[in-house]
Amino acid sequence: MSNVRDDLTLRRAAAVGRLMLGELDSWDEFQNIDDPKPANRRLRRAKASINRTNLKPEIEKFLEYNFDGMTMDILARLYENIKPPDAFRIDKDDFETHFARIKPQACPAPPHATLQISLWGLQFECPEDHLSKDIQCAFSLLREQEASLSGFTYKSDIQAKSHKKQIGKLIRKQKYACRTCILSCFSLLECYLNCIAWDFARSPEFTKLDEGQKKKLKDRGITFNDKVSFYPNWIMNVDLAQRLPHDIKHVLEVLKPFRDSIVHPSPFARPGEFGGKPKLQRLYQLDSQTAIQSIKAVINIIKACEGNRVNSAELPSWLLDLETVVKTDE
């Protein structure tokens, strides 16, 4: 009976290991592990591959490289939590609580990352990565429309009017790209600030803060402007107002009002909150220069924070990718 149980544990652990490595081509191959008589030749070959005698050393090597404290029994238990055809998703923090700690070389992602196991293998994702890619897409679209519009720059007004419909479509896409840049820049910066606060709240240093600071770091009773001012200072000892005064000014006095005019459009004029301009005027006057300057300001602010992050040897890949896209265009 023990041998049967050990064999089942090994086969399930092997299935999860191969799934993490992206070596399975279908969920049938994964689920087939408990089937004594697979339905077709391909599944039988897949089962034979999982059952091969030299697989246990390979799995143990894989576990040793990627995890601390992961055993064959734990890996087999993980098998029971994976419910095809849906990918298995779990917060990295929860995975380490219930299964095993992930070694840094296996996952350079931050503590707030989400772990996913699917036919694509073991992957990690974080919200900053998604939002930074939104900016990249919007930025590329913006440049494409500008390049197309440049073909009409030297035409007379009469010539331009003859292309009114074509020019109108390009301008609409350009304005859309500008608005998307603004929204994504704001979302990325706020997301980044919230995430570093979440990570910090789980560190020993968090206990050194006073109760008011702790409450605000948990995203309660604090405005976006105060997050920009306080979070980097409390968490990373970075005074952004002193180090990057122009970028901070742009974010608070340009990016945020433009973002608010898009998210909360209204004909009710509140110029005191929108740089002396009514909301709708902000919405209408958004241009490429403002969008691109917003991208650069957000990049600079996050880079300044990351430069002071403890135990961080390099910038996050999503930030490097975003910076590369913008710099390549210069």
Q: What is the pLDDT of residues 194-225, one digit of tens each?
A: 999 999 998 888 988 889 888 988 878 889 99
Does residue 110 carry a pLDDT above 80?
yes
CA distance 21 to 42: 19
In 3D space, the residue among 20, 17, 54, 41 whose CA is nearest the CA of residue 28 turns out to be 41
Does residue 298 carry a pLDDT above 90?
yes
pLDDT band at 275 (very low <50, low <70, confident <90, very high): low
Q: How confident is the model at residue 173, as a pLDDT?
A: 94
- Over residues 147-169, the pLDDT tens digits come to 988 887 755 667 777 778 888 89
Distances (CA, A) of 163 to 144, 160, 168, 174, 176: 18, 5, 8, 16, 20
Higher confidence at residue 50 or residue 261?
Answer: 261
Beta strands, E only, 119-200: 121-125
* Adjacency order of strands within the sheet including 88-91: 88-91, 114-118, 121-125
Distances (CA, A) of 267 to 9, 184, 278, 279, 284: 65, 24, 8, 7, 12
CA distance 135 to 118: 27
pLDDT band at 54 (very low <50, low <70, confident <90, very high): low
Map residue 101 onto helix, strand or coil.
strand
Does residue 276 carry a pLDDT above 60?
no
Does residue 50 carry a pLDDT above 50?
no
Q: How confident is the model at residue 193, as a pLDDT?
A: 95
Higher confidence at residue 37 or residue 180?
Answer: 180
Does residue 6 carry a pLDDT above 80?
no
Does residue 136 carry a pLDDT above 90?
yes
Taking a C-beta distance cutoff of 8 angstroms, is the pair 129, 318 a contact?
yes
Taking a C-beta distance cutoff of 8 angstroms, is the pair 183, 141 a contact?
no
Does residue 185 carry a pLDDT above 60?
yes
Does residue 272 carry a pLDDT above 70?
no
The overall average pLDDT reported for the chain is 84
Q: How confident is the model at residue 309, as a pLDDT?
A: 72
CA distance 306 to 197: 13
Does residue 27 carry a pLDDT above 60?
yes
Distances (CA, A) of 69 to 25, 74, 148: 28, 9, 56
- The arithmetic mean of pLDDT across residues 111-115, rounded, is 90
Q: How confident is the model at residue 1, as a pLDDT?
A: 42
- The arithmetic mean of pLDDT across residues 245-249, rounded, is 96
pTM summary value = 0.84
- Over residues 224-244, the pLDDT tens digits come to 999 999 999 999 988 999 999
